[in-house]
Structure formats: structure tokens, C-alpha cells
Amino acid sequence: SAELEYESVLCVKPDVNVYRIPPRTSNRGYRASDWKLDHPDWTGRLRVTSKGKTAYIKLEDKVSGELFAQAPIDQYPGIAVETVADSSRYFVIRIQDGTGRSAFIGIGFTDRGDAFDFNVSLQDHFKWVKQETEISKESQEADTRPKLDLGFKEGQTIKLNIGNMTSKKGGAAKPRVSGSGGLSLLPPPPGGKVAVPPIPPPSSTAIANHVTPPPVQKSSNASSADILLDLDAPAAASEAPVSATTDLWGDFSTASSGVPNQAPQQSNWVQF
């Protein structure tokens, strides 16, 4: 599986200084002021890569890219990479060769931002390693747990009760919708429309005259002129004031009896 893993680049810094540091004589941390900062022993390019869960600090030549030294890192912070006590731009790394020999050297950046990027790239990588370890641990624990058998046993059935739906064997019927007058109305058939009762057409009498006058009592000596006057009488009668003690059509009968033999005039007006 290690052969299938690919190498990814985490950080590249074009300028880095390498220093030979004196051996540590006590348990106190390293101090960059003990180094010869004005005279670095080597200057080149730094590249941080990762392959699987291991990170590598590679010191390479600026022009040819030839590898000068390499420091594998399995844990950060740890013994492979340590910060100095008096500066944030200098670190102590443990380099190793192919034979297993190791040595501690000091590295430093001219720009403080380069040192910050170098530190963050290592932190992000090992934070990802920690998350991957926790996920794999949880998956292994889940595999060891007894699995729940949620399948149906032979002959086992279930019964579903969805709303007011009735089963084939019978059940509660749907409640009927009650109308405003206490009548029980059946719901309309599915996909159908409710028929609206037709509105009866208005009668011809109501269209012609909105108010139907009462029948007029004619006198015995009514003539043909009275008959013609009666045709237009309802329109005029609707505008005349109504008296509670007199007949509604008494004035019309008196007017018609005064001119019994008068022929109808040509105009549309009626003379009273």
C-alpha cells in the first residue's frame, strides 16, 4: 500500500539558510543567538512534501534541484522539528540519510512570513493525519459491533394504518361532510365536477314591467278610448302618489269617463 501512495507538495520556499549548531548541553531549548547567523553554512530551497502520513522536509539546490538533506517527520510538534526559544524564524530539524544516520541542523528564513507558512503546512498535515486516524478507528469499532438484523422473519407481516383508508376486510368508513343545514352531503366523485342547479330564466312580465299594477275597475260606460288609455296607464300610475283612502286608479277612470267619444290622438302622449 505504501507503493501506491503518491507524494504531494505542501509548501515551497525559495530561500532558506542552514546552520551547524552546537550540541545541546542542557535540557533548555535551542537558541538561535548561539549560531553564527551572519555566516550560514548552506543556502538553498526548502520543499515540504507528504507521502501517506509522513511529511518530509527536503533541502534542495536552487538551480539544479539536487537534494542536499532530508528530514522525515512522523509527528509535529516532536523531536524531528523543534522551534527555538528566542525567535520564530528559526527551527532545528533532524536530517537522516539512507543508512539510518541522523544529525541535527538549524534552518532559518529571512522573511517571517515564510517561517509562518512552513509551520502552518506541517500543522495542517498532521491535523489531517489525526482526523484520518480517528475515522479509521471508528470504522474498525463499528465493524466489531454486533449488527442489527432488521430483516423480516419467515411469515412475519406488518400492518399499516394510513389516515382513514379502509382495508379490503373492512374498516372505518370515511366521515361524511355535513352541510350548513344539518344535511349530510356526499363528497364529489374523484375526478368529477359538482353540478350547479340551473338558474330559472326571468319571466317576460317581470322584464316588461318591474311592478305589476292591480286590475283596474272599469265603469259601465267605458268606451274604446278608455281601452286605449288603459294601455299607457300603468306607466303613469307608477309615478302618481298613492293615497291610503282613495282608489289607485280612480283619477284615470274619471279622466276617461269625461271624454267618452274622443278618438285617440296621433301622438304618443295621453291627454287626461
**HEC per residue, 200-221:** CCCCHHHHHCCCCCCCCCCCCC
> In the chain, what are the domains?
7-139 (2.30.29.30)
Cell of 86: 528566542
- Percent above pLDDT 90 for the chain: 30
Radius of gyration, alpha carbons of the chain: 57
Per-residue pLDDT, 247: 53
**Mean pLDDT of all residues in 38-50:** 93
pLDDT tens, 147-185? 777 777 787 888 888 876 655 555 555 555 555 555 556
More confident residue, 53 or 145: 53
Record the pTM: 0.51
Map residue 7 onto helix, strand or coil.
strand
Q: How far apart are CA 173 and CA 165, in angstroms?
A: 8
DSSP 8-state symbol, 3: T
Per-residue pLDDT, 28: 78
Ranges of H-type helices in the chain? 112-144, 204-208, 224-237, 250-258
Cell of 209: 314591467
Give 270's contacts (C-beta < 8 A, 6+ positions apart). Answer: 229, 232, 233, 236
Cis bond before residue 23 (omega within 30° of 0) = no
